[in-house]
Chains A and B, each alone.
Chain A
Amino acid sequence: GENVEQHPSTLSVQEGDSAVIKCTYSDSASNYFPWYKQELGKRPQLIIDIRSNVGEKKDQRIAVTLNKTAKHFSLHITETQPEDSAVYFCAASIRVNNNDMRFGAGTRLTVKP
């Protein structure tokens, strides 16, 4: 089955700096890659996603890149703010119908003011 690895497990940056979180996946059939942000005690919230027919997607300060050949995708947050502090999860789904989504282990991002 699909295996998703995520690095780093913790990341601390100064406010205003950029943060990059990387994930790799094992199954070349995966075609949907969402990123979720989870604040303490709250539900995961989708912040951005990318499908396998696209190499990059951007939404304001957040961008995701996908390298299908290397089977890795990354989340980029620019101009970080303290409210960006949370745990971020990447995920990959094996099948088109998204019934087998697998999550990475998570990255705890801390943005220091």
Chain B
Amino acid sequence: GAVVSQHPSWVICKSGTSVKIECRSLDFQATTMFWYRQFPKQSLMLMATSNEGSKATYEQGVEKDKFLINHASLTLSTLTVTSAHPEDSSFYICSARMAGYEQYFGPGTRLTVT
């Protein structure tokens, strides 16, 4: 089946610094990638949708200047959390979709901001 990887799997950073998370589709070309945020024991909340070579579409309430998304190729999307604060601590999951309906999820990145 299709495989999506994320790196890093977990990261701890200090308040005020920036953190970059990578999402890769390993064995297929993803026309669209999605970024989700998941708080403990809660559902997946869509943050943004990105199509290769174009600007990401952010969901209402998500600060585009704080959560920078780049989708430079059909196999790589990055999420950069800029000037991170403790309230940004969360589980960030990406997913990727090729032609069709199904989304394949990455393993997630646990971000802790101290």
Contacts and interface: CB of A to CB of B under 8 A. Distances in A.
B67 interface: no
A98 B93 contact: no
A44 interface: yes
Nearest to B104: A46
Interface of A: 32, 34, 36, 41-46, 49, 51, 89, 93, 97-106, 108
Interface string B76-109: 0000000000000000010001000111111110
**Main secondary structure on chain A at its contact with chain B?**
strand
B49 A99 contact: yes
Given A43-B93, A49-B102, A99 B32 contact: yes
Contacts of B97: 98
Nearest to A36: B105
Interface residues of B, number: 20
**Main secondary structure on chain B at its contact with chain A?**
strand
A93 B101 contact: yes
Contacts of B41: 108
Interface of B: 32, 34, 41-46, 49, 57, 93, 97, 101-108
Contact of B46 (A45, A97, A102): A102
A49 B101 contact: yes
Given A43-B106, A43-B107, A44-B93, A98 B44 contact: no
A44 B43 contact: no
B105 A45 contact: yes
B107 A44 contact: no
Contact of B42 (A49, A99, A105): A105
Given A43-B93, A89-B44, A103-B44, A98 B101 contact: yes
